[in-house]
């Protein structure tokens, strides 16, 4: 039987430590080119093939990043289109970098007290937060310990993030509404404890003034239920005084359309509806949903690449990446019905 050569044998043969062998074979910038050349030549001569997990452990790496998703008591996060779309993007961003992706359920950290311990224990090299409230104390240990993490759909001063600006896509939505003759528009907000909920509302209000639209705003929370329940909050004005409704999410829009169908209001003949997200369900609902395009998959890819850059650059500076939204016209909008 041929004896399996280990890292220890290569270290002894080259007169360096085992950790130096691992770093040299991984092309670490901390090791000189002369030592790398010598270690690689001896490893090849002895027939040493390093174990990837062992090599990463020796370098203080897990070669994994964690995607942190919120904890919901009544609904699983990946039953919502947002999280699979984000995960797809992250997998694309890590594909060629050799990183694995693990899921961390917020508030369910197991034996760890905080997010910093997930990295310090080598469970993950860095974290991507799928969505966090505007004021979120769970990030403080990561900031204090200067550990790599990236926010998606949130941003804070001095923290790396990827964020979609709603204004551009919503401006195209207003242009579309105006071209169809709509003058009085309703809006269902998102959860205003989240920054994207606040920014979408602010963009709506700014654009309504620019286009001189009459508006009525009701508060929602991004959910299908809040869209459905908002029907009654418009006090019988839908299809009458209000001829178009914009929403802060596709789920709200689909909930509203469901309520309209039950109440005998036809979309888009009586009421036009515009969503926000353009996830998979938007093109498959009846009628197919006109919506602001939120490029969450490409945002996931950018977040993964940014995090890996931070992991590999000890002296990184926080970076904020801004992306624009677009607009997709489908069948849920039509010309304003004349009284």
> DSSP string covering 68-101, please?
EE---SSS-GGGSTHHHHHHHHHHHHHHTTT-EE
Nearest by Cα to 211 from 176, 238, 159, 254: 176
Least confident of 94-98, 198-202, 246-250: 94-98
pLDDT, mean of residues 283-311? 96
pLDDT digits (tens, 9 = 90+) for 14-68: 998 888 887 787 767 778 888 888 988 888 888 777 655 555 555 566 789 999 9
Nearest by Cα to 279 from 264, 268, 267, 289: 289
d(CA 294, CA 227): 19
**Counting Cβ atoms within 10 Å, is residue 174 exposed (0-12), middle (13-18) or buried (19+)?**
buried
pLDDT digits (tens, 9 = 90+) for 228-276: 999 999 999 999 999 999 999 999 999 999 999 999 999 999 999 999 9
Nearest by Cα to 105 from 131, 144, 135: 131
DSSP per-residue codes, 274-326:
EEEE--GGGGTSSSPPEEEE--HHHHHHHHHHHHHHHHH-TT----EEEEE-E
Q: Indicate the length of the chain as a whole number.
A: 339
Q: What residue ranges define each of the domains in the chain, with the CATH number in brackets? A: 13-45 (no CATH), 64-162+297-321 (3.40.50.2300), 165-294 (3.40.50.2300)
Rg (CA), the chain: 26
d(CA 157, CA 257): 38
The answer to whether 238 and 272 have CB atoms below 8 angstroms apart is no
Mean pLDDT score across all residues of the chain: 90
Per-residue confidence (pLDDT) for residue 59, from 0 to 100: 54
Place of tokens 């200067």: 146
Q: At what angle do helices 82-95 and 296-312 cross, to 10 degrees?
A: 40
Q: Is-cis flag, bond preceding 268, omega within 30?
A: yes
Q: What percent of the chain has pLDDT over 70?
A: 93
d(CA 199, CA 292): 14
**Is the alpha carbon torsion for 124, 126, 130, 135 positive or negative?**
positive
- pTM beyond 0.85: the answer is no
């Amino acid at each position: 039987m041929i004896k399996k050569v280990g890292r220890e044998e290569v270290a002894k043969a080259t007169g360096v430590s085992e950790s130096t062998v691992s770093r040299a074979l991984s092309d670490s910038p901390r090791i000189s080119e002369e030592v790398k050349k010598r270690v690689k030549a001896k490893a090849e001569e002895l027939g040493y093939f390093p174990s990837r997990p062992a090599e990463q452990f020796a370098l203080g790496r897990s070669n994994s990043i964690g995607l942190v998703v919120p904890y919901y008591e009544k609904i699983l996060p990946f039953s919502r289109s947002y999280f699979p779309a984000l995960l797809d993007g992250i997998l694309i961003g890590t594909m060629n970098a050799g990183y694995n992706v693990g899921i961390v359920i917020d508030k369910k950290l197991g034996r760890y007290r905080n997010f910093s311990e997930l990295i310090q224990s080598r469970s993950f090299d860095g974290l991507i937060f799928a969505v966090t409230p505007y004021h979120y104390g769970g990030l403080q240990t990561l900031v204090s310990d200067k550990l790599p993490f990236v926010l998606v759909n949130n941003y804070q001063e001095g923290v790396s993030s990827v964020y979609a600006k709603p204004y551009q896509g919503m401006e195209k939505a207003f242009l579309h509404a105006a071209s169809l003759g709509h003058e009085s528009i309703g809006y269902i907000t998102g959860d205003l404890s989240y920054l994207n909920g606040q920014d979408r509302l602010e963009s709506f209000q700014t654009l309504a003034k620019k286009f001189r639209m009459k508006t009525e705003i009701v508060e929602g929370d991004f959910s299908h239920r809040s869209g459905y329940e908002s029907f009654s909050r418009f006090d019988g004005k839908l299809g009458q005084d209000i001829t178009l409704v914009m929403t802060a999410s596709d789920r709200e829009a689909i909930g509203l359309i469901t309520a309209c169908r039950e109440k005998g209001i036809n979309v888009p003949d009586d009421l036009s509806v515009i969503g926000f997200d353009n996830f998979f369900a938007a093109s498959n609902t009846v009628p197919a949903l006109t919506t602001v395009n939120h490029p969450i998959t490409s945002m996931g890819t950018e977040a993964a690449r940014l995090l890996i850059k931070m992991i590999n650059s000890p002296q990184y500076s926080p970076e904020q990446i801004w992306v624009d939204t677009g607009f997709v016209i489908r069948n849920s909008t039509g010309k304003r019905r004349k009284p």
